[in-house]
Structure 1
Amino acid sequence: MNIQNRIVSVDIFRGITIVLMILVNTPGTWSNVYAPFLHAKWHGYTPTDLVFPFFLFIVGCSIVFAYQNKPIDGNTYKKISVRALKLIGLGLFLGAFTIHFPFFKDFDNIRFPGVLQRIGVVFFFASILFLNFNWKVLVGLCVFLLVGYWLLLGYVPVNGMAPTFERAPNNLANYLDVQVFGSHSYKSDYDPEGLLSTLPSIGTALLGIFTGLILRSKRLKKEFLLLGIGVALLLLGYLWDMVFPINKALWSSSFVLVTAGWANIVLALIYYISDVKGIKFGSIFKYAGSNAIVLYFLSSFTAKIMGMIKLSEGTSLHAWLFKSIYVQDSLPMETSSLLYGLTVVSFYVFLGYLLNRKKIYIKV
């Protein structure tokens, strides 16, 4: 395969990831969701907990394709900075918007962290690091971030108390989020896209960069190398879990390794099928991946509006649609909830298809 050609597997993987992001965020009702489509309550992980790190991993891969051999100058830094600020701005807008005049929440009720904000911050720092350092230095920086984060959370006392990895006042990540963000956090005692946990999430993107470099190289049998790396990361992650539990809310270092391990394994499989064997599949996911951020933003924004629009007796438009169409006596509520989410996903996949057909690619 000519390495200058676009690597199909990355586009498919990005599309699958954005589809899953939309699916797990838009059930018919949060009261009835199948367990695999929910986040782990604290330690451990579910398939849903893989979705966001997969996207940050793909951000790392994409950085290689976008900036390898790019001139390191003011124009490149400007483009990176503008894109990062756009992502952060869109995330803040989602957190602040309301349908009632003046269309923004009271300042005290606006959540500052968020998914798009984290993507923006991670993209910015991972891109800058990639432009300025070779892969060996990046490996060292990744190790430094992950080990340093473990030492901070595991050994630095908090307010005179012994540190903990549990959801408690003496968890350093939780403590800093409360001190810095206050009422602007997701919860009163922590934020899953918090300040300190952003550091290891940069490590997730760096691991994606290493995979991107492998995919862009002239190396043969890349799929086996990715598979081997994936298995090795899984083993290391599970070993680290013994002393630093796998935890999505904290974005623990073991969580980084395990999720990057799965990402490499899944990508190796897709790469083997699409790029090595040349089997055409997953085009519909490529369409979604071509405008991934736009589709994610639109799905989040629309879901928010549908939850705010109230019909009779205070029922939201979202709840009315779900109960009127999907809730049936013959179906378990979890199935009805999943069908609603699949309908939402189908709409945005079709929208991605239309945008691709019209050659409309909205770069954020």
Structure 2
Amino acid sequence: MVLKWVIGKAKACKYFVMQSIIVWGSEVGNTIHDGRIIHIDQLRGIALLLMILVHAAATWKPSQLHQEHVLAIFVASLGGLAAPLFIFIFGWGIGRSKNTSFQKNIIRGLVLFFAQFLVNLTVPHLFHPFSPGVLTLIALLYFFAPIWLYTINLSFKNIPLWPVICCILLFTPMFITLPDATWSQRTIPEGVVSWLHLAIFSGTYPILPWLIFAIIGGCVAQEKTSKINRNYVILSGLILSLCFFIYALHFGKTYALPSGEAVLTFFPANVPFLISSLTGIGLLWVLVLKIPEFTGLINLGRFTLTYYIIHFLPFRFWHDIDEKHTWSMPVSFSVIIIYTILFWPLSLLHHRVAPNYSLEAWMKRLSSRQ
């Protein structure tokens, strides 16, 4: 019975994919505005909204909503795409750049280290001042870009090795992560060696396995995936993702949780999460090529770093307001949705009034001096 249902869903997915997949790497949206690719900015905007949504939901979720609730799983599944999408787009950008110097990458990485420090200070109830986070991950990927970009071009007897490298990264969570680690163990470094261990292996966004998203993004940018049947790859990802869901239903397990006992977990990023995230990125890449151009979404994509830091500010001062006022589920969800959508008109106003005042503009000015 379960097998028939999976096959039926797979056929439906196959029809959708075959009708809508465009050559993933070479047919990125060609619409350019102010020297920027609209398709990529819209993807960044979506990633930012998903990030804000999942953080707001984690902060202001109603007490009566347990983690196994379908709404909680839905939000966690959507929000779980945000960081992978950011890293993928970062890898795509680095892979596409031809004239970026090592000095510029160092400056951008240092700015991101500073930005992560600001985030940590903004929400001290969540992070230690020196907790490595997603901005730390991107900073380190900037620093080591020459190395991981080099691996993209490795081959053995004219056989590219990047698929092998990605497979190794895909399964690293089975060997190096600490599934039972507490939040404090993932975020509080006890010294330099501890910080490095968190940043590379066991923190919230360790290089291993998160590097896989940057490498695949770089491969797409350099058209290394042009000989791969992308329809088959994304269809396979959809089937596997569906199987994870069926497995959870059949054995009575929780499908997705930020951390804990579940089939998909974000902290640490386990193998099912990585597979599902890569599949989701592929689908979003295709879908965004087909949607109209939304000015608000495009502007969000231009100020992702700035808004990423700003969106934490209310969490510092009102992170327990839902508990003090015992918000009901409708109130909590209304606040979460309104807060997330609020950044759309904010980006329109920002771009109209002060487009050159942002962390992105500051980073660009600093790096352009080199």
TM-score exceeds 0.5 = yes
Q: Choose from 277, 286, 295 the match for 1:268.
A: 286
The aligned counterpart of 1:311 is none
Tell me if structure 1 keeps the 8 A contact 2:45–2:298: yes
Please tell me whether residue 26 in structure 1 is matched to residue 50 in structure 2.
no
1:82 aligns with 2:101: no
Task: Determine if contact 1:53/1:259 at 8 Å carries over to the other structure.
Answer: yes
**How many Å apart are 1:58 and its aligned residue?**
2.1
TM value normalised by structure 2:
0.64
Which residue of 188, 193, 202 maps to 2:211?
202
Which SS does the other structure have where 2:267 is aligned? coil
| Match for residue 307 of structure 1 among 294, 301, 318 | 318
TM-score with structure 1 setting the length: 0.65
1:68-99 deviation line (CA, Å, top 9, x unaligned): x226xxxx11111221222122112222358x
Find 1:93's aligned residue among 118, 127, 130.
118
Aligned to 1:62: 93
Secondary structure of residue in 2 paired with 1:254 = helix
Q: Contact 2:38 / 2:293 at 8 angstroms: preserved in 1?
A: no
Work out which of the residue numbers 267, 271, 277 in structure 2 matches 1:253: 271
Displacement after TM superposition at 1:10 (Å): 2.2
After TM superposition, give the deviation of residue 3 of structure 1 in Å: 7.4
The alignment covers a number of residue pairs equal to 299
RMSD: 4.6
CA offsets per residue over residues 267-301 of structure 1, 9 Å max, x none?
11222x14xxxxx343321111111111111111x
Is residue 174 of structure 2 the alignment partner of residue 150 of structure 1?
yes
Taking the TM superposition and a 5 Å limit, the aligned residue runs for 1:104-119 are: 110=129, 112-119=131-138
Q: 2:236 aligns with which of 232, 236, 239?
A: 232
Opposite residue 304 of structure 2, the aligned amino acid is A
Alpha carbons of 1:61 and 1:212: their partners in 2 closer, same or farther (altered >3 Å)? same
Deviation (angstroms), 1:199: 0.9
Task: Say yes or no: does 1:357 pair with 2:352.
Answer: yes
Q: Secondary structure at the match of 1:31?
A: coil
Is contact 2:179–2:268 with CA below 8 Å preserved after alignment?
A: no
| Letter in structure 1 aligned against 2:286 | A
1:346–1:237: structure 2 CA closer, same or farther, 3 Å change rule?
closer
Q: Say whether the 8 Å CA contact 2:173–2:269 is kept in structure 1.
A: no
Q: What is the aligned partner in structure 1 of residue 39 from structure 2?
A: 9
Deviation at 1:5, TM superposition (A): 5.2
1:337 aligns with 2:332: yes
Secondary structure of 1:46's aligned partner = helix
Provide the secondary structure at the position in 2 that maps to 1:143: helix
In the TM superposition, what is the alpha-carbon distance from 1:140 to its structure 2 partner? 3.5
Q: Alignment partner for residue 180 of structure 2, among 156, 167, 185?
A: 167
CA distance in 1, matches of 2:41, 2:273: 24
2:56 counterpart letter in structure 1: T
Query: Structure 1 vs Structure 2: percent identity of aligned residues?
Result: 18
Q: Name the amino acid aligned to 1:79.
A: K
| Counterparts of 2:186 and 2:116, CA distance in 1 | 18
Structure 1 pair 335/127, CA: closer, same or farther in 2 (3 Å)? farther
Q: Structure 1 115/37 Cα, relative in aligned 2: closer, same or farther at 3 Å?
A: farther
Shift of 1:256: 1.7
Change (3 A) 1:97 1:339: closer
Q: Partner of 2:222: helix, strand, or coil?
A: helix
Whole-angstrom CA distance in 2 between matches of 1:200 and 1:305: 30
1:291–1:361 CA contact under 8 A, matched in 2: no
- What CA distance in whole angstroms lies between the structure 2 residues aligned with 1:347 and 1:13? 18
> 2:343 — aligned with what?
348
Shift, 1:121, TM fit: 2.7
State the one-letter code of the partner of 2:209: P
SS at match of 1:59: helix
Partners of 2:120 and 2:28 in 1: how far apart? 43
User: 8 Å contact 1:226–1:265 — kept in the other structure?
Assistant: no
Residue 26 of structure 1 aligns to a residue whose secondary structure is helix
Any gaps of 5 or more consecutive residues in structure 1? Answer: 99-104, 154-164, 275-279, 309-315, 328-332
Give deviations 1:277-335, integer Å, cap 9, x for gaps: xxx343321111111111111111x2244338xxxxxxx7x559x95xx96xxxxx222
Tell me, in whole angstroms, the C-alpha distance in 2 between the residues paired with 1:127 and 1:282.
35
d(CA) in 2 for partners of 1:167 and 1:95? 23
